[in-house]
Amino acid sequence: MLHRNSWMYLLMLLGAVCASPIIRFNATKKLDEWIEIPNSSWEMTWVHRSVVEVQSHAKWGSKQTEVLFIFYSRSNATGSTYRLSELENVNDAVFNSSRPTRVIVHGWLNNRDSPFNVEVRRTYLKNWDYNVIVVDWSSCAGKLNYIAAAYCTTEVGKTVARMLLNLKMNKGLTLDDVYVVGHSLGAHVAGISGKAVGGGRISTIVALDPAYPLVSFWDQNSRVFRDDAQYVEVIHTSGGYLGFLEPIGTADFYPNGGVVQPGCGFNFAGICSHSRSWELFVESLLEPEERLMAKQILSLDNLQFGKDDTIRLAKMGGEPLNQKSDASGLYYMTTSDRSPYFDSNKPN
């Protein structure tokens, strides 16, 4: 008879296999009643669907979620904070419509001061004279309950869209100059905001390892999708675990295969690989274009088995992105196991 811990290990292993978009099999009806989600330690935990249904309708995922917008610029490094109802107070010193605008959306257990937000914001402003708007939805995402955070994304995305449309109408924002950059659940917030503004009106969405648990591949309205902006770039780094493995953008990039990143080792949680997506993006903003080139692959099968069917090259990340190019499809590249990550990339 197997020890209890052995059963738990087998159950987790089975869950990991079921979660993989490449390896599929018919699970029993009993197993279908359970869902894997991350806990506060980023460890995958089995939760019964009935619990998910109850908590998805709880107040955390309702319209009571507070969303804050922090406006930054080179002349306003400390930021100015506004709620949606306060945007009329935004003046020209806070937001200059003649500059490009970059919107940053964090994921679960993050807030305005999380490393993702801080590093992306600082890198943009150090190198370009932009408007940078950080979306802080930690009133929901900051809770330990992942289920609640996942079900906040729709309302938060719509609120971000209302913010952008307000700035367009009242402050002269040009949607062609807007990038929305989101990590994990924030990537889905970015996608939903693009839908709500009007698919294809925002210039670019950058989806950094879009969250996989509790997000349906089949429901395009609840996640980031290739039609949410003129160009949607997805960087996959923990595919099939914390992040999506399926291609869901205009161009989908799979550094090092897109599942486990060099230097992260193997673990069920995959938080190291999950975070690598935004770390790569930040460094891409500082690198010359030739170091960012990725090879096109024909399918995930080519990616899985390391086959090399190069058709063309496309740049992963960088500034500006590929919005004006014809980049589309799936791309593969190699990176180092530590910063500087792009030193080992040799696409040619």
Q: In angstroms, rounded to a whole number, what is the distance separating the alpha carbons of residues 339 and 283? A: 8
Q: Is residue 35 part of a domain?
A: no
The CATH number of residue 281's host domain is 3.40.50.1820
- Residue 268, Cβ density class (10 Å: 0-12 exposed, 13-18 middle, ≥19 buried): middle
Within 10 A of 186 (CB to CB), how many other CB atoms are there? Answer: 32
Catalytic annotation present for 209: yes
pLDDT attached to residue 218: 79
* Number of domains into which the chain is organized: 1
Structure tokens given for 214: 């509790």
**Mean predicted confidence (pLDDT) in 318-328:** 86
pLDDT attached to residue 146: 87
Q: Tell me, what DSSP letter sits at residue 211?
A: B
Q: In angstroms, rounded to a whole number, what is the distance separating the alpha carbons of residues 9 and 301? A: 28
Q: Is residue 193 part of a domain?
A: yes
pLDDT attached to residue 341: 96
Catalytic annotation present for 48: no
Q: Is residue 53 part of a domain?
A: no
Q: How confident is the model at residue 36 (pLDDT cuts 50, 70, 90)?
A: low
Task: Say if residues 102 and 131 touch (Cβ distance below 8 Å).
Answer: yes
pTM confidence score: 0.83
> Active-site residue among 106, 183, 236, 274?
274
Q: Is residue 228 part of a domain?
A: yes
Q: How confident is the model at residue 27 (pLDDT cuts 50, 70, 90)?
A: very low
> Active-site residue among 73, 114, 138, 184?
184
Query: Residue 301's domain spans which residues?
Result: 59-344
Who wins on pLDDT, 215 or 49? 215
List, in order, residues 6 or more apart from 54 with CB less than 8 Å away: none
Within 10 A of 88 (CB to CB), how many other CB atoms are there? Answer: 10
pLDDT, tens digit, 9 for 90 and up, residues 57-103: 454 445 568 999 999 999 999 999 999 999 999 999 999 999 999 99
> Active-site residue among 73, 183, 209, 275?
209
- The CA-based dihedral angle spanning residues 241, 35, 252, 230, taken in that order and rounded to the nearest 10 degrees: -140
